[in-house]
Structure 1
């Protein structure tokens, strides 16, 4: 690269050599991460990830040339690079891509002075490639992610609030446990039923938007000089000029267009199984709702049970918020604290209601 010769006039300092060795270790680890991700993918995504791995290996070769015989023993990569590598081997690839995307963005805001401009330009392009791959993965998992986040979060907040409400009302341990388990089952069933109805309704709405096949069969019989076929495309959302062009094209070929001609259908959400969506909602809500009940279920009583339930619920809320932030490219700590604040406010409100109810009864 062009600044290699420019900086080779004097011997590098020990501190600079350490930075170069760290750069070399990080580039090698990045290449391994991309190859690990590629091993789990196929088709175009695999080719893209292997291309990124090759680019990182090219960068590693640059630092090897800079160091020469001063490279020393292989240096361990940074903690961040090692963490991403571990996650790439054990967790979902979209989650790892989101972490890599954030890491690339941070590295570009304060680049090392020894990194050549061409390599920085490469990294900026790599960041956009990773952003594109992550966006594709998020689009595929958006429905599952929504069900998981809504289900777990609703279970955590609603059941913890319910448990604190009856605690504020002076309920004993058996009543608290019964209330928590009843809230878990009732909420999970309600979520499952709502998701099932939602998916079924969405399928019915999309089916109602499908073009009539009988109208397609009528196209060859139309008067070429006087017909309303262009109005069909305008009704589907195409501009007038495009609608006329599409109608002329269809008439020349003697057949009507398929549903893909409808521009509004291109953005329609891909709807999954109603039973699958209901099952997922039931499971995710149950997981979230079980957490506030666990201390009481295992025999912990009194203030210790309440404190333990609060800690477990708070940790789960923060973990959920942070995970969503990572996947969406947002700041994890801020989203985690926001999730915790919302859950705490809901639980506090029901606890105060329980205290008021107890005072009124007494």
Structure 2
């Protein structure tokens, strides 16, 4: 596509127009670099897809460069958001970067820009879906361990802060508070790790039990009667409608290699690669719960006491909750700030209730 200016482009652009074009050009160049950096860390299909996206962004760069003419040579860096994305792409190349890139494509201004061509606006809409697909692949690869890590950290933060505030409300001494926090950290981390191990192991065993067994296909299938057999029932049991199951069974048995055909109709894998390993989930959950649970007791470990220790503990936990909430928001494609505030509200609510109950029980027992 030739980077010719649109008919609606002003013949004598204002300084504001040229400033906007320069910003668009710089951002497109940064975005192209992001995709090329990510492609350098991928192989096969994903690499080709990312390089295709980079080529498209360079076409858009050519459009703005054409409008700017000689001014295009003096273009600086892109926006802070795009520079951050490029930095993360060079350093990490992870699903986190793809999630940010997806949000960047979603916010493309071309749909309402008079100087962008309709083809460019359509490109960006397609790019959003392409990056969404790549991000889904990445999320699937890390979903099991990531889920355990996020849940572990959140549980550690909220449960141990609530536990510590509960005994503070009951009038416990600094030593008791510290011992309670350490006990909560260890017991909770061990419980979370064991729970994740059992959960993921059970899920993998369930998936393995549900996966079709084709080990005897090459021995059994060639011996079946072409006109009277139960192969169609196998397909019907997998959810295929009766007529389609019968037709598929007939095609398989009349082929040159029935066993190869029936293996080809079997889904690849059993889905266990999506949920991760039981050991990985358990270790991740243990470590992240312990890390989260350590945050509320840091002020008491370093010797702070009274209201100062409580305030510092609450602030540290609040910041950590917002960080985990924002991370989940980015990876899920949702608004990070909203997810961060939601996590903060949940943690604050749980801590306030526990502190209140601790105060009531402390007064009743005192």
Scaled by the length of structure 2, the TM-score of the pair is 0.90
Map of 2:313 onto structure 1: 309
The yes-or-no answer on 1:179 pairing with 2:180 is yes
Q: 1:273 to 1:20 in 2, by over 3 A?
A: closer
Mapped to 1, the partners of 2:16 and 2:31 lie a distance apart of 23
Mapped to 2, the partners of 1:223 and 1:100 lie a distance apart of 55
The structural deviation recorded for 1:67 is 1.3
The yes-or-no answer on 1:165 pairing with 2:166 is yes
Mapped to 2, the partners of 1:86 and 1:213 lie a distance apart of 47
The yes-or-no answer on 1:246 pairing with 2:248 is yes
The yes-or-no answer on 1:331 pairing with 2:332 is no
- Residue by residue over 1:262-293, the C-alpha shift from the partner in whole angstroms, topping out at 9 and shown as x without a partner, is 56976666453322221111111111111111
Q: 1:129-140 to 2 correspondence within 5 Å?
A: 129-140=130-141
Map of 2:323 onto structure 1: 319
Contact in 2 for aligned 1:94/1:137 (Cα 8 Å): yes
Which blocks of at least 5 consecutive residues in structure 2 are unaligned? Answer: none
Map of 1:143 onto structure 2: 144
The yes-or-no answer on 1:50 pairing with 2:51 is yes
The structural deviation recorded for 1:297 is 1.2
Which blocks of at least 5 consecutive residues in structure 1 are unaligned? Answer: none
Map of 2:345 onto structure 1: 341
Contact in 2 for aligned 1:210/1:259 (Cα 8 Å): no
The yes-or-no answer on 1:20 pairing with 2:24 is no
Aligned residue pairs: how many? 362
Mapped to 2, the partners of 1:323 and 1:177 lie a distance apart of 29
- Residue by residue over 1:163-222, the C-alpha shift from the partner in whole angstroms, topping out at 9 and shown as x without a partner, is 111111111111111111111110110011111112222233233334566875544444
CA RMSD of aligned residues (A): 2.6
Mapped to 2, the partners of 1:270 and 1:136 lie a distance apart of 10
Mapped to 2, the partners of 1:24 and 1:236 lie a distance apart of 52
- Residue by residue over 1:309-345, the C-alpha shift from the partner in whole angstroms, topping out at 9 and shown as x without a partner, is 1011111111111111111111111111111111111
Q: 1:198-217 to 2 correspondence within 5 Å?
A: 198-211=199-212, 216=217, 217=219
Q: 1:109 to 1:149 in 2, by over 3 A?
A: farther
Q: 1:76 to 1:209 in 2, by over 3 A?
A: closer
Contact in 2 for aligned 1:98/1:329 (Cα 8 Å): yes
Contact in 1 for aligned 2:105/2:128 (Cα 8 Å): yes
Scaled by the length of structure 1, the TM-score of the pair is 0.91
Say which is worse superposed, 71-80 or 98-107, in terms of deviation: 71-80
Q: 1:240 to 1:215 in 2, by over 3 A?
A: farther
Say which is worse superposed, 288-297 or 87-96, in terms of deviation: 87-96
Contact in 2 for aligned 1:238/1:263 (Cα 8 Å): no
The structural deviation recorded for 1:249 is 3.4
Mapped to 1, the partners of 2:211 and 2:70 lie a distance apart of 68
Mapped to 2, the partners of 1:58 and 1:16 lie a distance apart of 20
Map of 1:228 onto structure 2: 230
Contact in 2 for aligned 1:3/1:116 (Cα 8 Å): no
- Residue by residue over 1:209-243, the C-alpha shift from the partner in whole angstroms, topping out at 9 and shown as x without a partner, is 34566875544444444333322222222211222
The yes-or-no answer on 1:354 pairing with 2:358 is yes
Question: Which among 278, 299, 302 is matched to residue 298 of structure 1?
Answer: 302
